[in-house]
């Protein structure tokens, strides 16, 4: 048997392994309930090969990051690469000086976000944060290439996303630019989904949406789902799930300073819901004020909070947009 025949056998084995692992991942996502809001996404996750979008990735270990890649000369490494690509876990795909620049999000969280986007046939979707291109491929499978636009600030990220998409047979519009400014030349949009962390909702997105459009974006450590009324107004609640993403990068955007939690009980310090309130009201409530409110209101979950964008102002709120608890957003 020649070398090329051995290579073909190895490729076939990897393809069969990928198909088996992908089917197992879809079953795991379905069991988590992530498809509940829109079960049609199950077909997309079953069809789109995630491993083609992560030709290499990094796995954190005791000695730092281990690089797994599909072109390794070691068959065992290639097998671990395929298996890891179909774990329900985020994958670090781009590092610079130890800083995470880009990743492939946890598939079950991606599924939940896509289901909560509530797309309809014919919708035009803008994705903020191209990442590996995997999410854009799922959208393209569901809606068609011509109705999907993905944008990222980093030309290296958009170029690699474009290559991954083409390798998998998808060709949505991949744009290099500041996601906070949207992509006006591809507007209007019926849906906007962000896969990076923001401090507020950019006004440019609203202006590029049709009335009734839905925006789903990470904010603080949650996911805000807003309905657009017109170019200057949008409103909606957070989903109850937690979400942690790489921050949107662009001009004049800086990471917030860490909050000192002195004086706050240890139980609250370790609470994800308390930390969400702190992140949402950063610079407005100090930790002691936030803790008092959190206890007084029964330790509210994320779904009790919301966002309103109206005219020149945007604010977060608890329970009611015009209620007693409201905090301006940047």
- Active-site positions read 102
Give, as one character, the DSSP assignment of residue 93.
Answer: E
SS3 74: coil
How far apart CA 12 and CA 82 sit, in angstroms, is 13
How far apart CA 246 and CA 276 sit, in angstroms, is 16
The contacts of residue 212 (CB under 8 Å, 6+ apart) are 190, 227, 228
Instruction: Please tell me whether the peptide bond between 197 and the residue prior to it is cis, using omega within 30 degrees of 0.
Output: no
* Token pair 């020649």: residue: 2
* DSSP strand pairing (148-152 vs 125-128): parallel
The contacts of residue 43 (CB under 8 Å, 6+ apart) are 141
């Amino acid at each position: 048997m020649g070398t090329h025949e051995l290579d073909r056998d190895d490729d076939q084995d990897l393809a069969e392994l990928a198909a088996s692992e992908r089917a197992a991942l879809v079953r795991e996502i379905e069991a988590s309930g992530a498809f509940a809001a829109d079960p049609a996404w199950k077909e997309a996750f079953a069809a789109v090969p995630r491993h083609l979008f992560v030709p290499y990735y990094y796995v954190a270990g005791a000695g730092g990051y281990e690089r797994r890649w599909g072109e390794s000369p070691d068959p065992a490494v290639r097998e671990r690469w395929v298996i890891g690509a179909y774990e329900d876990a985020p994958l670090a795909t781009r590092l610079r000086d130890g800083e995470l620049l880009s990743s492939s999000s946890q598939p079950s969280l991606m599924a939940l976000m896509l289901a909560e986007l509530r797309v309809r046939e014919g919708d035009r979707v803008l994705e903020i944060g191209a990442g590996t291109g995997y999410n854009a491929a799922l959208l393209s499978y569901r809606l068609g290439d011509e109705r999907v636009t993905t944008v990222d600030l980093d030309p290296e990220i958009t170029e690699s996303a474009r290559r991954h998409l083409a390798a998998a047979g998808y060709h949505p519009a991949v744009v290099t630019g500041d996601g906070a400014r949207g992509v006006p030349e591809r507007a209007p949009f019926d849906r906007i989904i962000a896969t990076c962390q923001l401090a507020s909702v950019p006004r440019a997105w609203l202006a590029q949406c049709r009335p009734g459009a839905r925006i789903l974006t990470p904010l603080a450590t949650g996911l805000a789902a807003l309905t657009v009324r017109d170019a200057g107004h949008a409103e909606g609640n957070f989903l109850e799930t937690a979400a942690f993403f790489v921050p949107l990068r662009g001009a004049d955007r800086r990471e917030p300073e860490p909050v000192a939690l002195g004086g706050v009980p240890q139980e609250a310090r370790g609470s994800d819901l308390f930390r969400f309130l702190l992140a949402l009201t950063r610079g407005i409530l100090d930790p002691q004020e936030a803790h008092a409110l959190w206890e007084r209101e029964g330790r509210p979950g994320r779904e009790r909070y919301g966002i309103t964008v109206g005219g020149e102002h945007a604010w977060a709120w608890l329970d009611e947009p015009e209620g007693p608890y409201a905090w301006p957003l940047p």
